Structure 1
Amino acid sequence: MENATLHNEKELLQQAAAGSEAAFKALFMHYWPQVYGTSLHLTKSPEQAKDLAQDLFLKLWENRTKLAEVSNVAAYLYTSSRNLVIDYQRKKVFNADNVDYLIQFFTSSDTTAQQKLEYRELEEALAAAVNTLPDKTKEVFRLSRYEGLSHDEIAQQLGISVHSSRTYITRALAEIREQLSNHSDSLTLLFILFISRK
């Protein structure tokens, strides 16, 4: 749930942008629940959520001069939190529980019509991207990501080396990621969830 706007928020933003630690602390105390809550909702890990929320406020302080330009703090922090989570998840492999939760989050009956539309767009965009891959690359990608085979199993089934299997996957992911680069962050996140599965 978003917090109510601070009565003196504009003034606090100006003061924080000018370097006031007291003003920044007031913003921190007021918006911490929102930032932590957003991170927790997306990661399902209290420890990760706390670390990411702290990282976000640290980045805000390091770039505090930009705070004077912010008109909607709640929206700004939500977007920043979401992007930070996405960036974090790009750098790590999801565990199965996290993947299943986030996919369920975007496809459950509780999601909005917009979120469901984005998920359908992701499925279509991903399928189209996979279909443009060279035949061997496509075959390796499907065996890995759709059928869950390991590189050893793929190599044995296709009569190629494990190194070749890894190379094909690397090429496939680079090409698909490039084709999906124009989609929204939520689509990108779902794609990352999908391709990161073991």
Structure 2
Amino acid sequence: MGAGGISDREKEIMLRLRCGEERAFEELYRIYSVRIYRSILNMVKDKEVASELLQDVFIKVWEKREVIDPENSFRSYMFTIARNMVYNYLKRSSLEMQMTAYMAATKSEFYTHVEENVLHQEIEDSLNTAIDMLPPQRKKIFVLCKIEGKSYEEVSRLLGISMATINDHIVKATHFLKNQLKDISQTYMVLLFTFLDF
């Protein structure tokens, strides 16, 4: 057992992860995913949201793998990322609720309904157009994970590729989509980023 209660095994996995080793990423996923999921679920009280946020946590871990400090607890690092993800999710959810309340308070019921339908249709059209611009494999992975809601493990088995590869595709797809949609009005961006952010 190393300093601070960190095992030599955990240090070794973190060092391998820093070097971009996909197997190390998958080992850490197996070790921590259930505990992180339960923690997130306890905060958001929604299984679907918790599953989505769990995937976003591991996307962030993969993105930031080069700055992971093997001398510090990986468990604490993961839970800190998870808490920040939940905080951002709850903040976005609150903003959406405020927007909806404002629309309901300032417009007639019919007009609000029509405006919301138009807004959601334009969001959907913009997003679908951008998704269609992704490379075929990246599009397939993005749709399976983000649209159909499949877990990385399910997609890994379905396509015969590693979860780290799936992570990489999701990160690149999300950045591409945000860049493609950056000129959309602020109202649209709030709702789109609720879907795309991690």
The TM-score, its normalising length taken from structure 1, stands at 0.45
Higher relative contact order (CA 8 A, sep 6+): 2
